[in-house]
Amino acid sequence: MTALRSEIFVAKHTFVSKLALIFPALIVVTQNFFSWVADTGNSARNNLISGGSFDEVIASNAYGYFVDSINTGITMLALLMVCIAAHSFSYDRDSGFVRHILIRKVGRTTLILAKFVYLHLLAVTSLTVLLITAYFNTGFFWEYGPVVEDGFELISEEEIVAEILLGLRLAVIPLPAAIGFGLMTSSIAQTATQALMTALGVTLAVDIFKPSLGVYADYLYARFLPSIVDTSYLSEVSRLVRGYSDVLVDDRILQMNLLIPIPTAIIFICINLLIIKQKKL
């Protein structure tokens, strides 16, 4: 508890922790504003040319934009958490804070686990702010409701909400693995800058090349995490809640999404603990 209290105390006085809480939400607000401006222009043009259309009905439904907001926000949150995790231990080691904590009879294992818990608390808080902001901001620009065409309900609100909850659950499951990878990099690297650059570089490299790995990508936690090159289930939910029927859901991928990330996070933490016990601080 001493180590965790120290982490929380330091977080209260650092800009990075505050940035992690609000940055994903700010990105979402900005994205929604520009999407609304673009949709307003397109809608006015389409009305002049051909009147209403199914695409216009879709464009006026808030649920699709809400999913897009969540997707973008989690992408930013995941990158932030990898960077913060990679920087945390290595910076504390370079600044002498780790030695100060160890003098207070806090074990190395306890210190790493406290950081892991704190980073999850930060991620959960940021995700909560993101979801609340995305919901109300999206509702401000568009209207929530079922997808309806010519008076026929294609997909009900209950079905939409169920898909969003499933997509959200599958999207956040890989976050512990991302945090664990950042912490592991922080322990391996010699300096805080090296840890930060390595973690961010590897994360982006895996993101770029994972589509070329084929079925082997299904064994990477990054395959299921919303990202710049997005292959997560949440990206499919964005089309599902808009009423498109050409989305194919692979049950095997959903099972892998549930099975791969958590064991990966445990492996990262175990490697982290082994390195910390061997390394001179």
Determine the average pLDDT of the residues in 167-187: 95
Least confident of 93-97, 218-222, 236-240: 93-97
Q: What is the mean pLDDT of the chain?
A: 86
Average pLDDT over residues 155-163: 89
5: pLDDT confidence band, cut at 50, 70 and 90?
Answer: confident
Task: Retrieve residue 243's tokens.
Answer: 């009423």
For residues 67 and 239, what is the distance between their CA atoms, to the nearest angstrom? 9
pLDDT of residue 281: 60
Q: How confident is the model at residue 9 (pLDDT cuts 50, 70, 90)?
A: confident
pLDDT confidence of residue 104: 66
Would you state the structure tokens that stand for residue 41, as one six-digit string?
């222009």
User: Residue 26 is which amino acid?
Assistant: L
Place of tokens 């791969």: 260
Does the pLDDT at position 106 exceed 80?
no
Q: What is the pLDDT of residues 187-220, one digit of tens each?
A: 898 888 999 999 999 999 999 999 898 889 999 9
Q: How many helices (H) and strands (E) does the chain have?
A: 12, 2
Question: Is this structure's pTM higher than 0.85?
Answer: yes
Rounded mean pLDDT, 88-98: 76
Q: Are 203 and 222 in contact (CB under 8 A)?
A: yes
Q: What is the mean pLDDT of residues 157-184?
A: 94
Domain boundaries, the chain: 2-278
- Where is 147: in which H helix or E strand? strand 147-149
Residue type at 78 in one-letter notation: A
Contacts for 132 with CB less than 8 Å, ≥ 6 apart: none
Residue 34 CB contacts under 8 Å (≥ 6 apart), including other chains = none
> Is residue 38 over pLDDT 60?
yes
Q: Does residue 251 or residue 47 have the better pLDDT?
A: 251
Q: Is 103 exposed, middle or buried (0-12, 13-18, 19+ CB in 10 A)?
A: exposed
- The confidence score (pLDDT) of residue 239 equals 85
With 80 as the cut, is the pLDDT of residue 8 above it? no
pLDDT above 80: residue 244: no
**Integer Cα distance of 111 and 240 in angstroms:** 43
Task: Judge whether 58 and 147 are in contact, CB under 8 Å.
Answer: yes
User: Backbone dihedral region of 199: left (phi > 0), alpha (psi from -120 to 50 degrees) or beta?
Assistant: alpha
> Which pLDDT value is given to residue 54?
47
Using DSSP's 3-state secondary structure scheme, residue 210 falls into helix
Q: What is the pLDDT of residue 252?
A: 87
Nearest to 92 by CA among 22, 6, 175, 15: 6
